[in-house]
Structures are given as C-alpha cells and as structure tokens.
Amino acid sequence: MSYQVSEVSGAAIVALTGDVDLQTSPTVRQKLLETLEKHKRVVVDLSAVDYIDSSGVASLVEAFQVSRKKGSSFALASVSAAAMRVLSLARLDKVFTIHPSVEAALAPQG
C-alpha cells in the first residue's frame, strides 16, 4: 500500500494504491485524520485500491465521522471494483458520498 496527498483548488486529494488491510490500515487512518486537520475538503481516490478489508473500511468510516463533526467535506472518488464490492456488501455505498472521478468530486458543488 502507498498513498499520495495532493492539493487541487483548496481540496486535499488522498490517493491510495494497493492493499488496504489490517497491516496497512493504521497508516491510512492516521493519514486521513491528519489531512482532515488541515483541510476543509478531502477527497479519497480509491481507483488504485486492489483490496480493502473491514479495517480499511473502518478507517474511512472514522474519517467520515470526524468530517461531519467538523463540518468538513469528505468524499470518495473513482472507487475500484474491489473497494466498491466491499463498500456495497457493508451497505456503506449509501453512506459515503461517492463520485465517479476525482474531477467530478472537485466540480463546483451546487
């Protein structure tokens, strides 16, 4: 697993690559919470995620809960088939804001 954080027009984009599992999810969780500290708008790019397990999903859920408390925006984008399978099995596909692409996530909200 690797991650990359970039900034596009005031929003932070966290791009995760590889496997988010019990071994790597603590890093993901920490990175997401750190980014939420500094940014009002966070988009997680899941296009290159090959695998995500319940602990990875839990990290996303926690970040989502923190953003709601802070009144920030937290969204997922370009979710890979593998990640989408897990999210839908967990029925979290209706809980998260999911955009088909990072560009769509960054589009002016109306």
Partner 1 sequence: MQDQLRMLSEMTREFTASHDYKTVVHSALARITKYLGAEAAALFLLSDTGDTLACSACVGPVDITGLIISAKTGVVGRTVQKREGTLVRDVRLDADFGAAVDSKTGFTTRSLLVAPLSIGKDCLGAIEIINRVGGDGLFSADDLVLLETLSRAAALAINNFRLTEKIVQRERETHELELAAEIQRDLLPQPLGREFPVHGINIPARSVSGDFYDILVLPDGRIWFNVGDVSGKGMNAALLMAKTSSLFRCLAKSAEHPGQLLNAINNELCETNSRGMFVTMVGGLFNPANGHLSLTNAGHEPPLHFDPRTERFTAIPADGPPLGIGQGIAGPDGYPVTEFDLAGGMLYVFSDGLTEATTFGGGMLGIDGARALIREHAEESPEIRLKSISGAVKLPGQSLRDDLTLLVVEDMASAHGPSMPVPSADAKSTDGEIMRIRVPARPDRLKLIRAAVEQASKYCGAGEAWTFDLIMAVDESCQNVIRHAYGGRPEAGDIVIDFLRRGDAMEVHIMDFADPVDPSKVKSRDLSDVRPGGLGVHLIKSVCDEANFVPPPPGVGNLFKLTKRLPSNIK
- Output the smallest distance, CB 103 to partner 1, in A: 27
Q: By rule CB under 8 A, what string of x and - marks binding of each residue 63-82 to partner 1? A: -xx----------------x
For the chain, the farthest-separated pair of C-alpha atoms sits apart, in whole angstroms, at 39
CA distance 65 to 87: 16
Taking CB under 8 A as the rule, does residue 17 contact partner 1? Answer: no
Helix, strand, coil share of the chain (percent; to 5): 40, 35, 25
Binding site for partner 1 (CB under 8 A): 19, 21-23, 51, 53-55, 57-59, 61-62, 64-65, 82, 85-86, 89-92, 95
